[in-house]
Chain A
């Protein structure tokens, strides 16, 4: 396939947290607000006058100082973030809108509070309590929390307009991003997709780490470009897979899977678009913030949710994604030391093939991926097993 418009530019942007678009927005006087988890509604951080930056630590090596502080037995994502912060890589942040949604990223954010790491006199770190359920009580609680720990401090410290009108404007912009991402992502549903998983992840990630108003023109161009993009005559992949799991902001991991012969057609992980890029509806007469809180809680599929029916629906959601995107299998990745996904991955690996007949490849990975050879072997074996199953199925069909 021909190169997608802007794709090289996006790849470049993702090499640094303080990228060109972030610098441009800062130069225009906007406040940069960091966050680590999809439970922090990015739309609230994209109000006029500020913009959200989902924290990543691209091009990380060995997080030595962070390992002194957090030991080598914690999730490497959290440690790499701390290392990057200690190196000064997050000094552009004006605030960290924190959540205690998983232990290690919480500890990372607490280090920002304790150690005076961010060299920015305006910097503050504010925690929001995020509920574990999707019931009305939780929605009310989440709304209260977002008002008290996101909107109020933004208004008081930076004079950000947090009125309903401002929220509506932010939602409108956010929804356009979601619409475009959904449109771009829908090309993955085709029998022969016209966008690769690697390309899609570059686009999706850039919407999380760049100011929305600066990334939107790029998204529009890409969406337009995709309308006329044709697949190669020779199909370069052997099967299609859903990539599910924990934190994953590494497009080169997706590229590795695709190099092995499996096209990644759906992304159901912490930095993915499924869920995450559904448009927010603002029903008439409903409080805007409540509608936003409700949207985020009801659409989230994090293994942190504990209600019996939500735990069970998660499996169905994943299986349905595989069907909808015509995937032949699911790769479930888990960041080493992630407690949530270690259990979720274990049960998914047993239940999904058994109850939904979808093959699963279950792997554990590090934030800085050094075990490429081993992973490549695992993926290749998985792809072969899918192919063998397909051949067996065809033979059975022919025999009948």
Chain B
């Protein structure tokens, strides 16, 4: 999108709509009505009312759905949303579509400064262009789902949407740019931190301040909801001289500063070296453009070494000291305890979920919901919404386990997805299940942050917090020794997977640097693995269509399988969100 002028884009879309209308009119004018009437009569003769009633009530069987026929051109829009059977369509309409639209409004109204929503929407591209398209994000992730899988996955999306709104409402309420340069009480009482710094560091101040990750909403969430916006930021960073090869995630995060599209909502910034060299390197950009007190809280690289723990703990304490000095709010141990204990409950449930996912076919959460929700909540830390969502999902999961409901009945392969996912196509796993029966049971970044945080003593708390942060997403497996990334084999076995989807982030030096060893190991272990190249947020490098083609080619030529839904094998969604 960014490579073309917007006028062109808008005009193109208007032209496309006009052409479609013209084509329809022409079709009507030139239609062979006799032939059409004959066709209708033929259909009436062969019409199976029982089957139609069954399809209406239960939805079509998987193999007859032809979900690919629902798309309009390359837009990703639907001619009409899928009819999932009466019950599931009504559930989707009332409990997902309507419920979430209504709550998008109520969540905004319950924010710190509701009116700032409009100012923020008009001020920031990542907001104005992205936020309202959120229901399509649901649609893409939940395509084809039925029953408990639909409900449980949708609750995960609901949690993420609610927390996203809470965070941007806080940013807008505090934002100096939206308040004529004034430093209001929210600005003074909000900590900005890199999205890779875990929220649990700031638990001691959750009663008097808020902590909001700087790039989580402007960058990370937007890539999933509407991948058009992020391209502007990547291009902006390259426009000031950055080469194109560094990690595009870091590029995009830095590009937000270049375009002055970051909200100024905090007097300080806490950054870290999580997860890679790119993250370290972007600190210099953060420091330059934010130009305010910045604290770096690096984690040790060789985290298996018991000797690094003390150092890590001291860095966390230094960070706490920094927050105290900069904000004037003292460290509150009781507050830390409260949130750490509460977060442990989320961890408890995560372990329960893993148990069901690993050992039964009754796990009701699809690959994309699992991956996004897990990384979002564990990074964000303890918040009420996660408990609310987990309570709903627990009910659903208990039911599927108790009643032995096979939630993904067309599963041909239980897949594990390894390394980091394409953000613009995190819902590829929804497609892979619908098209090929590849059910993504778990992904790499879900398998971290599952350590319990002890709260019996300050020393134990600090020890656990240090380990927890050392084992953060991406770094937990990717750094600190090759043995971590090769834990794949252990998790494949644990989750009973027979298929590996290797995300091949083309600009991730750490993963590229071990590519050949994986190839060797796959051959040695006789494991089916398909490499999925991508460039995290940048769909221009490898498009979604190309990703699908790579998987489909593998399924045809290596696995010798036929698609469950042939309409999904080849379609164009190049201009979709």
Contact = CB atoms under 8 A, between A and B. Distances in A.
B275 to A, nearest CB: 10
A106 B511 CA distance: 12
A340 B277 CA distance: 6
B481 A339 contact: no
B311 A137 contact: yes
Contacts of A114: 482, 517
Contact of B276 (A138, A141, A339): A339
B284 A343 contact: yes
A39 to B, nearest CB: 11
**Interface majority SS (helix, strand, loop, mixed), chain A:** helix
Interface in A115-143: 115, 127-133, 135, 137-138, 140-141
A307 B405 CA distance: 54
Given A103-B277, A107-B513, A303-B281, A127 B246 contact: no
B9 to A, nearest CB: 29
Contact of B242 (A106, A145, A343): A343
A304 interface: yes
B360 interface: no
Contacts of A78: 513
Nearest to B282: A343
Interface residues of B, number: 53
B334 interface: no
Interface stretch (A66-74, A179-187, A284-292): A66-74
A78 to B, nearest CB: 7
Given A103-B510, A343-B284, A70 B515 contact: yes
B479 A307 contact: no
Nearest to A66: B516
Contacts of B308: 129, 141, 145
A347 B284 contact: yes
A173 interface: no
Contacts of B282: 343
A374 to B, nearest CB: 15
Contacts of A128: 302
B285 interface: yes
A347 B258 CA distance: 12
Contacts of B280: 132, 303-304, 306, 339-340
B509 A111 contact: no
Contacts of A110: 481-482, 514
B240 A350 contact: yes
Contacts of A351: 288
B277 A131 contact: no
Contacts of A137: 311, 314-315, 318
Interface string A334-368: 10110110111111011100000000001010000
Contacts of B514: 69-70, 107, 110
Contacts of B479: 100, 103, 106
A362 B240 CA distance: 12
Interface in A373-387: none
B271 A306 contact: yes
A339 B517 CA distance: 23
B510 A339 contact: no
Contacts of A312: 287
Given A75-B509, A129-B300, A103 B284 contact: no
A57 to B, nearest CB: 16
Given A69-B515, A73-B512, A74-B509, A303 B284 contact: yes
A319 to B, nearest CB: 16
Given A73-B507, A336-B245, A342 B281 contact: yes
Interface stretch (B141-149, B150-158, B291-299, B393-401): B291-299
B480 interface: yes
B281 A340 contact: yes
A133 B281 contact: no
Contacts of A388: none
Contacts of B245: 73, 336-337, 342
A349 B314 CA distance: 35
A337 B509 contact: yes
B547 to A, nearest CB: 18
Contacts of A131: 298, 300, 311
B312 to A, nearest CB: 9
Nearest to B308: A129
B284 A344 contact: yes
B305 interface: yes
A166 interface: no
Contact of A308 (B243, B296, B481): B296
Contacts of B288: 347, 351
Contacts of B273: 132, 306
B341 to A, nearest CB: 28
Interface string A155-199: 000000000000000000000000000000000000000000000
Nearest to A135: B318
A135 to B, nearest CB: 7
Residue among B278, B308, B482, B512 with most chain A CB within 10 A = B512
A144 interface: yes
Interface string A277-319: 0000000000000000000000000011011100110000000
B302 A350 contact: no
A141 B281 CA distance: 22
Residue among B277, B285, B480, B515 with most chain A CB within 10 A = B277
B461 interface: no
A256 interface: no
Nearest to B482: A110
A364 B241 contact: no
A4 interface: no
Contacts of B277: 102-103, 304, 339-340
Interface string A50-69: 00000000000000000011
B49 interface: no
Nearest to B302: A129
21 contacts: A69-B517, A70-B513, A70-B515, A74-B509, A103-B479, A103-B509, A107-B482, A107-B514, A110-B514, A132-B296, A135-B318, A137-B315, A304-B280, A308-B294, A311-B283, A311-B284, A312-B287, A340-B280, A342-B243, A343-B282, A346-B241
Nearest 5 CB-CB pairs, A to B? A107-B513, A69-B516, A141-B311, A306-B296, A343-B281
Given A129-B301, A339-B280, 7 more contacts: A75-B509, A102-B277, A132-B296, A132-B298, A137-B311, A342-B242, A344-B284
Interface of B: 240-243, 245-247, 250, 254, 271, 273, 276-278, 280-285, 287-288, 293-296, 298, 300-302, 305, 307-308, 310-311, 314-315, 318, 479-482, 506-507, 509-510, 512-517, 519
Interface of A: 68-71, 73-75, 78, 100, 102-104, 106-108, 110-111, 113-115, 127-133, 135, 137-138, 140-141, 144-145, 148, 303-304, 306-308, 311-312, 334, 336-337, 339-340, 342-347, 349-351, 362, 364
